[in-house]
Amino acid sequence: MHAFSFVWVSLIYIGLLAGCSPSDQQPTDFDWAHYQGSPSSNQYSPLTQVNVANVKDLEVAWTYHSGGADSTGRSQIQCNPLVIDGILYGTSPVLDLFALDAATGAPLWTFTPGGHDDDRSGMGVNRGLAFWTDGESQHIYYAAGSFIYGVDAKTGEQLTAFGEKGTVDLHTGLGAHAQDLYVGSNSPGIIFKDLLIVGTRVSESMGAAPGYVRAFDVHDGSLKWTFRTIPGSGDFGADTWPEGAWQEMGGANAWSGMSIDHERGILFVPTGSAAYDFFGGDRHGENLFANCLLALDASSGKRIWHFQTIHHDLWDRDLPAPPNLVTLNVNGKKIDAVAQISKAGYVFMFDRETGESIFPIEERPVPKSTLSGESAWPTQPVPTKPPRFSRGRFAEEDLTERTLEAHAYVRAIWQSLRKGEEFIPPSEEGTIIFPGFDGGGEWGGASVNPEGIMYVNASEQPWIIKMIKHTDQRDGYLATVGKNIYGTHCQLCHGEDGKGASIYTVPSLENIKTRKSAEEITQIIRNGGGLMPSFSNLHDDAIDAIIAFLFNSKERIDDEKANRLGKAGWKYPYFMSGYVRFADHEGYPAINPPWGTLSAIDLKQGDIKWQVPLGSYPELTDKTTGSQSYGGPVATAGGILFMAGTLDEKIRGFDQRDGSLLWEASLPAAGYATPATYAVNGRQYLVIACGGGKLGTKSGDAYIAYALPQQ
């Protein structure tokens, strides 16, 4: 947004908070032209037509059903749609790209990735789109599976000059060892001039591709620059890894999206943990540039500065969202800053140009690891301001008191686990991680208004990390070898017991042989399915062994095949038992509420202004518990903070001043996405994708737009 717009926005916002009517300068048309609203990722709109006085009058303006929802509740829509020149662009549960009339929801065109193949399993999810224009041509870029697709925004036709007939393989530029490994991209790339800059999602287990940041030409798809997040020999940061790590290790990937300061030409990139996520015995050191906020020259990819928020990550503490680019007045000094939320509930804030922290950050001593071969880093950085926006300590007095039975159940488990301090490394007995793997902060990101108030939702669910010692058992049965391979590649999500871990909507594998044939399972492993990535790097013998384990086969195996499979097996002394939420006997969080919150943080002062519960469990009589949430909030100059994302399948409007609830509406499926707001022909709309499919809720295929009644 241009400087004059911020001044106009601020005046309108101040007037609204003083009780004035919306300004008659409301624009006739206003776009939502970038993922999260702007290149600054602030999830903010200057629109004022919908405001604190009339938000209660919002009604459904149109509904669009994209199709593609899974009847068993395993599909999702996480897309924050774009609205440009009166056209809305979004994606379906199966990642069809579509264009609608943004005022009516009438369909204009649909693009199907991968040609006309009906089997689009393994495409993953999509959180948004990247838009490029030179004033005449208009392009949209997004990822499905392991490819970036270029599409003409006017016609929906594939841009055949882009890459190979309209696609670019996300393996490009990652090195020879990554070509058969899983690479995808849930979050959209970002445009700088004629560059499409992208990050990737990679495996969090053994056999992960490196998470390099790359820039491609928007016209022909050629690779223009690469920033190696695992530094090569002689690169800055190489001494924080074992020698030659860049040739074989993976992760340190920018999966959550990026922000860009176009005026300065600075790209801000948050990265995730190095793989394997939970044991680093083969990657001793701090592991730059994993878990970093990177400031790169957007034209060349050269590093300007960085800050590492976790050293030698063992907790999957990825930086989960694009940072917010904000201008603050701190102690009388105007600062163009970058603010980065974390899964742990911290906000790290820096000067955009220099990387100097706005408030002091302390390196605090942390516990040592008890696992053989592990060397946890002795300190971790903790911001002194603002206070964390989610709890970080889970003490005995915090154990749930929902019922006597629930308390007794979780207390027995709690007593057996390592707990008490932050940054306790993973252990064989089990370690509490709080906030859990899904935050704290998550991929929905934070909203910031021009007054420097950040609004962010947080989940407050404890999780458990338990490490299991690996044993290379060879008793002559194929299923025994398959159990180890399952533990290597499948257990993180499907769980040690095969019942399906709760981090994603993961199906149970119990009695799988009654529902799927060996051939069907083989195809799913090779090609992926739903949210499951492809494991095309596994050879036929390994897949046969996994199936033997799942089917409880008594097939014998000869020594030659056992040795061959053993060499391709797990290289670490431990593997994690699976993503496990710490819950009571009825599935509710093991901690006392709130289980989800919405907070307002004054970034200038470094203080929390207010915090309220967000969401509820419909079946519970207490409607103030809060719940986990996915997607993020959107603030407007009308004084409203819009937020969906909760398992009670509602969208809400809060007063930015105090967090009071002003409006809510029920959705056909949960809106696990960030809303968008825009204006067409003088009418302001709020749109949300209702894909459901997480936290046990049903899947959906609808986009719903709200507006005030027509005069």
Question: 283, 303, 321: which is the final residue of a domain?
Answer: 321
285 and 172 fall within a common domain: yes
What's the pLDDT at 6? 37
CA gap 282, 275 in Å, rounded: 10
Question: 321, 348, 375: which is the final residue of a domain?
Answer: 321
pLDDT above 90 (res 565): no
Token pair in block for residue 104: 């009516």
Please list the residues that pair with 131 across neighbouring strands: 140
What's the pLDDT at 3? 37
DSSP 544-573: HHHHHHHTT---B--HHHHHHHHHTS--SS
Instruction: Tell me the average pLDDT across 547-554.
Output: 86
283 and 171 fall within a common domain: yes
Closest Cα to residue 528, out of 97, 94, 77?
94
Entry field: residues in the chain = 711
CA gap 533, 489 in Å, rounded: 11
Is residue 448 included in any domain, yes or no? Answer: no
The residue ranking higher by pLDDT, 9 or 134, is: 134
pLDDT band at 9 (very low <50, low <70, confident <90, very high): very low
**Is the four-CA dihedral 419, 424, 428, 434 of positive or negative sign?**
positive
Q: Which of 29-33, 495-499, 635-639 has the lowest mean pLDDT?
A: 495-499
What's the pLDDT at 595? 98
Closest Cα to residue 595, out of 429, 437, 412, 457?
457
**Is the four-CA dihedral 291, 292, 298, 304 of positive or negative sign?**
negative
Is residue 402 included in any domain, yes or no? Answer: no
64 and 163 fall within a common domain: no
68 and 166 fall within a common domain: no
Is residue 391 included in any domain, yes or no? Answer: no
The residue ranking higher by pLDDT, 119 or 248, is: 248
User: What mean pLDDT, rounded, does the chain reach?
Assistant: 91
156 and 97 fall within a common domain: no
Give the H/E segment covering residue 6: helix 3-17
What's the pLDDT at 205? 87
220 and 74 fall within a common domain: no
Instruction: Tell me the average pLDDT across 655-671.
Output: 98
Is residue 407 included in any domain, yes or no? Answer: no
Best-predicted range by mean pLDDT among 340-354, 484-498, 512-526?
A: 340-354
215 and 308 fall within a common domain: yes
CA gap 211, 198 in Å, rounded: 10
What's the pLDDT at 703? 98
Is residue 194 included in any domain, yes or no? Answer: yes
Question: 569, 601, 619: which is the final residue of a domain?
Answer: 569
Strand ranges for 222-314 from DSSP E: 223-227, 259-261, 266-270, 292-297, 303-308
What's the pLDDT at 585? 93
What's the pLDDT at 225? 98
Instruction: Tell me the average pLDDT across 459-474.
Output: 86
The helix/strand/coil state of 701 is strand
Percent of the chain at pLDDT exceeding 90: 76
CA gap 196, 189 in Å, rounded: 6
pLDDT above 60 (res 213): yes
Is residue 142 included in any domain, yes or no? Answer: no
Q: Would you say 379 and 365 are in contact if contact means Cβ atoms under 8 Å apart?
A: yes
What total number of domains does the chain contain?
3
pLDDT above 80 (res 531): no
Q: Where are the alpha helices (DSSP H) in 187-284?
A: none
What's the pLDDT at 118? 46
pLDDT above 80 (res 207): yes
What's the pLDDT at 11? 39
HEC sequence for 379-393: EEEEECCCCCCCCCC
CA gap 673, 175 in Å, rounded: 33
What's the pLDDT at 458? 98
88 and 9 fall within a common domain: yes
What's the pLDDT at 701? 98
Q: What is the CATH number of the domain that holds 678?
A: 2.40.10.480
pTM given for the model: 0.89
CA gap 486, 488 in Å, rounded: 5
Identify the burial level of 318 via C-beta atoms within 10 angstroms of its C-beta, where 0-12 means exposed, 13-18 middle and 19 or more buried.
buried
Instruction: Tell me the average pLDDT across 172-186.
Output: 93
Is residue 444 included in any domain, yes or no? Answer: no
278 and 197 fall within a common domain: yes
Q: What is the CATH number of the domain that holds 515?
A: 1.10.760.10
- Residue recorded with tokens 């906000």: 347
The helix/strand/coil state of 454 is strand
**Is the four-CA dihedral 521, 525, 530, 531 of positive or negative sign?**
positive
CA gap 542, 538 in Å, rounded: 6
pLDDT above 80 (res 551): yes
Distances 646 to 65, 436, 457 between C-alpha atoms, Å = 21, 17, 10
Strand ranges for 130-233 from DSSP E: 130-133, 138-144, 147-152, 167-169, 183-184, 190-192, 195-198, 201-202, 213-217, 223-227
Is residue 697 included in any domain, yes or no? Answer: yes
Q: What is the CATH number of the domain that holds 210?
A: 2.40.128.630
90 and 158 fall within a common domain: no
157 and 273 fall within a common domain: yes
Give 120's Cβ-side CA count (13 Å radius).
23
Q: Where are the alpha helices (DSSP H) in 452-539?
A: 478-489, 491-494, 518-527
**What single-letter DSSP state applies at residue 427?**
B
Range of the domain at 523: 471-569
Instruction: Tell me the average pLDDT across 404-422.
Output: 94
pLDDT above 50 (res 18): no
524 and 667 fall within a common domain: no
What's the pLDDT at 147? 96
